[in-house]
Amino acid sequence: MKAFAIWFVVFYLYHGLGITLGYHRLLTHKSLKVPRWLSYFIISGGYFCLMGSPIVWVGVHRLHHQKSDQPGDPHSPRDGFKHALYEWMFDTRSVQTDEELQKQVPELMADKFYRLFGDTHDPWQAQLCLGLNVVFRVILFALFGWPAALGSLLSMGIVFWATQCVNAVCHQPTAGYRLHDTIEDSRNVWWVALLSLGEGWHNTHHALPKSARHGIKWWELDVTWISIWLLEKVGLAKNVIRPSSLRRVPAMATAPLSGNGSSVMNTMNANKISLASADVATPEPVLAE
């Protein structure tokens, strides 16, 4: 039982950080830089947690920031809790064509390794991920026995659904609390943050999307940020973007929506916000002067 507990903790961090540090803060928002070999290793933890193609994941998440809780958001709870939790995964092409997806992620499209795992919304990339996940657990069982295989499998299940709860729970107007008056419904939810290694401080993330740190208050535990801080201390993480180096989004973008919010969205469209930007739910935060 002790061996299982150790493997569970190890794989919880491996899978959790693969998503939170790798797919999210590193690839999607470019909140830090790490050596390429290390980025591939970190990302593997998310891939073996059924997150699918990094290109597809990043492209969909950037779209979420651009249209958060507005028409075209891939997984807003305004379209239903079950939709935000899991139904959206079966119909991503309805809100994002393959061409639009690839325009979102030009830097990842240039990486031949990431393209191996899929660069379209075709089901084969999800099927490939599922198949490789099965092979991964079989190898774990063959090499290290049932404690490692079961520890990885159980941690994968918890981390996977914790990630989906960020979409479904942390955009519920009645959940958690808000520190920032952003244009969408994002909330800070403590229990989601604990399960997802800091991703549940979601309102702060939407206010400062490029920040490598999501938990700002002293009580907001952010395990992903602690991991980034440690990587920085040993010289493996550079260009780490902290909240103190960013301005809050402009007042225009944080004003509460009236009606269907079309006036705000029209203003944003008029400003020609780039689809290829890593953070375009609001105008790009800039370095403090």
Q: For 224-283, what is each residue's pLDDT tens digit?
A: 999 999 999 999 999 999 998 776 554 333 333 333 333 333 333 333 333 333 444 333
pLDDT tens per residue, range 195-216? 999 999 999 999 999 999 999 9
Encode burial over 82-99: b for 16+ CB neighbours within 10 A, e otherwise. ebbbeebeeebeebbeee
pLDDT per residue over 137-175, tens digit each?
Answer: 999 999 999 999 999 999 999 999 999 999 999 999 999
pTM: 0.86
Q: Each residue of 164-185: b (16+ CB within 10 Å) or e?
A: bbbbbbbbbeebbebebebbbb
Instruction: Output b/e per residue, 120-129; b: 16+ Cβ within 10 A.
Output: bbeeebbebb
Domain membership flag for residue 72: yes
What confidence tier does 69 reach under pLDDT thresholds 50, 70, 90?
very high
Other Cβ atoms within 10 Å of 27 Cβ, number: 26
Neighbours of 139 (CB within 10 A): 12
pLDDT of amino acid 16: 98
DSSP assignment letter at 198: T
Residue 255, pLDDT score: 34
State the angle between helix axes of 36-47 and 2-17 in degrees (0 to 180), rounded to the nearest 10. 110
- % pLDDT > 90, the chain: 82
Q: What is the pLDDT of residues 104-130, one digit of tens each?
A: 999 999 999 999 999 999 999 999 999
Token pair of 43 as six digits: 């990302």
Looking at residue 190, its pLDDT comes to: 97
Give the C-alpha separation, 26 to 227, whole Å.
12
CB 6 within 8 A of CB 14: no
**Is position 230 within any domain?**
yes
Output 219 or 267, whichever has higher pLDDT.
Answer: 219
Q: Provide the pLDDT for residue 274.
A: 34
pLDDT at position 1, please?
83
pLDDT of 248: 58
Structural domain includes residue 165 = yes
Is the distance from CB of 47 to CB of 14 less than 8 angstroms?
no
Domain boundaries, position 169: 2-270
| 18 in a structural domain | yes
Beta-carbon count within 10 A of 107 CB: 12
Whose tokens are 């403090």? That residue is 288
The verdict on residue 287 lying in a domain is no
Label each residue of 44-98 as H, E or C: HHHHCCCCCCHHHHHHHHHHHHHCCCCCCCCCCHHHCHHHHHCHHHHCHHHCCCH
Asked if residue 141 belongs to a domain, the reply is yes
For residue range 181-197, what is the model confidence (pLDDT) as tens digits? 999 999 999 999 999 99
- Mind giving me the DSSP string for 100-169? HHHHH-HHHHT-HHHHTT-SSS-HHHHHHHHHHHHHHHHHHHHHH-HHHHHHHHHHHHHHHHHHHHHHHT
Domain count of the chain?
1
**For residue 273, what pLDDT is reported?**
34
Residue 287 has pLDDT above 80, yes or no: no
| Residue 137 within any structural domain of the chain | yes
Indicate whether 61 pLDDT > 60. Answer: yes
- Looking at residue 247, what is its pLDDT? 61
What tens digit of pLDDT does each residue of 25-59 get?
999 999 999 999 999 999 999 999 999 999 999 99
Per-residue pLDDT at 244: 83
Task: Report the pLDDT value the prediction gives residue 49, as an integer from 0 to 100.
Answer: 98
pLDDT of residue 280: 42
Cα separation, 159 vs 139, in Å, equals 21
244 Cβ contact list (under 8 Å, min separation 6): 288
Residue 196, in any domain of the structure: yes
